[in-house]
Amino acid sequence: MQRSLVLLKPDAIQRGLVGEIIARLEKRGLKIVAMKTMQLDETILKEHYAHLASKPFFPEIVSYMTICPVVALIVEGPNAIAALRNTLGATNPLEAVPWTIRGDYALSIGFNLIHASDGEEAAVAEIKRFFKEEEVLNYNKIDSNLL
Ligand code: TYD
């Protein structure tokens, strides 16, 4: 069983797409084990996007990601990390295929709606960065033996 951090970025909130996006994750079979709204700041974004902090577009990422709260979730499921990445679609929505979240709802890389961890190591670090242990719920779904 794997866990991944998911962030519904400010454009998901601004465009009223939070429910629709979470519905897609649930329908995929992923289990929500933590969820909250959060106002991000430059400090957490410099950690979260450390691999992009020296890029010329980083200030734009900070402005975009701090314009209003995000919804942070931890989702769980078998192969959750790979399942999420292909449910999200490519980073650049123009390259994301239809029926993916970005392929259906986004047009520009600067406003691509959603983040998910890109590997197991990243998932562990990101979950720790965004959630306290007591915010994470452990429970079984009655149909979990079907997944
Ligand atoms: P990245 O970690 O490369 O992709 P992903 O979000 O799919 O894991 O990039 C983080 C975010 O930075 C990305 O979702 C959108 C933004 N970004 C840009 O605005 N321009 C770019 O050229 C890149 C590579 C990313």
CATH number at residue 10: 3.30.70.141
Q: Is 52 in the pocket of ligand 1 (CB under 6 A)?
A: yes
Our count of domains for the chain comes to 1
**Domain span at 90:** 2-38+70-133
For the whole model, what pTM was predicted?
Answer: 0.96
97-142 pLDDT per residue, tens: 999 999 999 999 999 999 999 999 999 999 999 999 999 999 988 7
Could you tell me if residue 142 is inside a domain?
Answer: no
Could you tell me if residue 61 is inside a domain?
Answer: no
Q: Is the pLDDT of residue 145 over 90?
A: no
For residues 101 and 104, what is the distance between their CA atoms, to the nearest angstrom? 5
Q: Is the pLDDT of residue 147 over 60?
A: no
Could you tell me if residue 15 is inside a domain?
Answer: yes
Q: Is 32 helix (H, G, I), strand (E, B) or coil?
A: strand
15-45 pLDDT per residue, tens: 999 999 999 999 999 999 999 999 999 999 9
Could you tell me if residue 111 is inside a domain?
Answer: yes
Q: Using CA atoms of 101, 107, 91, 43 in order, give the dihedral in degrees to the nearest 10.
A: -100
Could you tell me if residue 129 is inside a domain?
Answer: yes
Q: How far is the CA of 4 from the centre of ligand 1 (A)?
A: 17
Could you tell me if residue 54 is inside a domain?
Answer: no
Give the catalytic positions in this structure: 115
